[in-house]
Amino acid sequence: MKLTVRRTQERVIKVTTLPVELDSVDFPEFKGKTEKAFLEYLSNNFKEIINDDSYYEHPVHLLVEGPNQVYYDSSTLQYTGSLESGEIDEANQENGWFNTNKQIKLEIK
């Protein structure tokens, strides 16, 4: 029996930017008074903030384009994934260029 087989891996990677000090005074549209309100404002308006003409003049751009580092990678603790048989499908990027027929879970701790 000949099979086309691949191995997949599921992993969680957490990445952080370097901390950036922001002053709510620099955001005239912000009317709140608490840290939570300021974070919500940033989150709700992120698209507008990064498209603003003064974006690169403000440290907020470092939250998007600044250096970042991985602080957690689940693959260092265990391997979780599967062995799959199927056919190569170069047009199917969504499934990793592969049409899976059978799948067996694979875990290594």
What does the pLDDT look like over 4-32, one tens digit per residue?
999 999 999 999 999 999 999 988 899 99
For the range 95-101, what are the long-range contacts, defined as Cβ-Cβ under 8 Å and sequence gap of 24 or more?
Answer: 96/6, 96/8, 98/6
Name the DSSP letter for residue 19. Answer: P
What does the pLDDT look like over 49-62, one tens digit per residue?
888 877 788 888 88
Confidence of residue 66 (pLDDT cuts 50, 70, 90): confident
Token couple for 30:
């912000």
Rounded to the nearest 10 degrees, how much is the dihedral formed by the CA atoms of 12, 18, 23, 26? Answer: -90
